[in-house]
Amino acid sequence: MLSVESEQEQASIFRRSHNLTIFHCFHIKKREAKRKAQSYILIIPIPIPRVTHPPNTQTTQIYNFMTSSNSGCPIINMESIKTFLSQFIDENGNLTPLYRQEGSEAPPADSMYAAALTYTLMFTFAVYILEANLDDMQYAAYKVKEFPKRVKEVVLKVDAAGGAKRRQSVEKKEGEDEKEEEEEKSGPLLPRLEKTFESSQAYGVDKLRFQMLTQLFGLLEGVVFMLCGFMPYVWDLSSGIYNGGEIGTSLVFIGITTVISTVMELPFELYSTFQIEKKHGFNKMTIGLFFTDKVKSLFLTTIIGGPFLALMLKIIEYGGDQFYIYLWVFMFLFSVLMMTLVPTVIMPMFNKYEPLKDCDLRDRTFKLAESISYPLTKLFVMDGSKRSSHSNAFMFGFGSNKRVVLFDTLMNQASDDEILAILG
């Protein structure tokens, strides 16, 4: 907002700001004895062609046209703001969505549902503020660049105690290359940890910044959807596309919202994968593999989620007053089924799993499982390196059929003792 005192200055500003469009949003005349009449204008940056006309001629005419209330230029005033906001207020003075389904009425003023949208928004903002506060504390921790002193003291003791053992391990190697490699692996631990700590802190800062931006976007998206009545609108749209019953309408509704959420999240996932992960040397995924995974995920969501939703709605429809009991049984059986299908059918669609060949690590892993009475039946290695250089290991299975999966990146980055420590 700036103040100009004459038409010449107005025209001069308009000429100099060739890359700005000036909207005269309100005009205030201050008729005081020792003050000149002033105009207050709001400058909004919008690219337009350069204006080279001299002041007091065509430039002044254009400026006067744009600042005239008869020119169609949007005039921002309290009345227009009140008119806009009144669309979100019902007759009882409570917040209400912009889109209202046909036949819907505002609940009575004394009803607990009268201010439901208001309370929902308040709770949404409260949760966001709490999470943002936690993120701020985590961000401050990530900004620390000094290696923790207490950890440093412990690591120095470990390095001092293991010095002789490292020298013996290096001397056992025959070739010079083998000696250098062994010396690098078994060298002092502190320099490696300090380097890892520095890179980990930088990675955490970038990840958290992006997470905070994503959460802010999610908040704005949720608030806009609630105020605009997006979900009721999509439901009515779905019933217009398929009006053959509640189950069919629900499937169309889930399909539309799934596509919309996928499209909305896509830019964030692309940036996270191909910018942040790539910057820190973790991403190994190609664009083709990224979208292939997306298509597979949508396909599985359709062929599994569709029938699941239809059966669930049927159970609710025919279950009567005790529908929740039947629904619980159905959910339990479905969970057991998925625990069987996910590792044997779904996961192999995304990654390759190979049994770990006979080696010392395999024998020691089975002995570890036996010592803790863990019914381990199979040990796999997964090709996680085709997507990321992150290392991981996980366990899955049901009953007496338990399995362990090691990422190939973990096999390459950690020793057998470290892997066993992770599994234990």
Domain extents in the chain: 2-76, 92-100+113-227, 229-350, 353-423
pLDDT at 23: 35
User: What pTM was estimated for this model as a whole?
Assistant: 0.73
Question: Would you say 390 and 282 are in contact if contact means Cβ atoms under 8 Å apart?
Answer: yes
Q: How many CA atoms lie within 13 A of 278 on its CB side?
A: 11
Amino acid at 316: I
Q: Identify any residues that bridge with 381 across adjacent strands, giving them in sequence order.
A: 354, 406
Amino acid at 311: L
pLDDT along the chain (424 residues), means of 10: 44 40 37 39 40 48 48 58 82 84 79 87 96 96 93 88 59 53 66 92 96 96 94 94 89 95 96 95 95 95 94 92 94 91 90 91 93 91 93 85 91 89 86
pLDDT at 25: 37
Cα(411)–Cα(392) distance, integer angstroms:
9
pLDDT at 55: 47
β-bridge pairing 376-382 and 401-407: parallel
Amino acid at 254: I
Q: Would you list the DSSP string of 272-316?
A: IIIIIHHHTT-B---HHHHHHHHHHHHHHIIIIIHHHHHHHHHHH
pLDDT at 134: 96
pLDDT at 15: 40
306-310: long-range contacts at Cβ-Cβ below 8 A with a sequence spacing of 24 or more?
306/251, 306/254, 308/334, 309/247, 309/250, 309/251, 309/254, 310/247, 310/250, 310/251
Q: For 91, which DSSP code?
A: T
Q: How far is CA 378 from CA 245, 282, 336, 384, in A?
A: 47, 28, 19, 18
Question: Would you say 179 and 166 are in contact if contact means Cβ atoms under 8 Å apart?
Answer: no
Cα(173)–Cα(179) distance, integer angstroms:
5
pLDDT at 178: 52
Structure token pair of residue 205:
């800062």
pLDDT at 244: 79
For the domain covering 353-423, report its CATH number.
3.30.2010.10
Cα(320)–Cα(170) distance, integer angstroms:
74
pLDDT at 31: 40
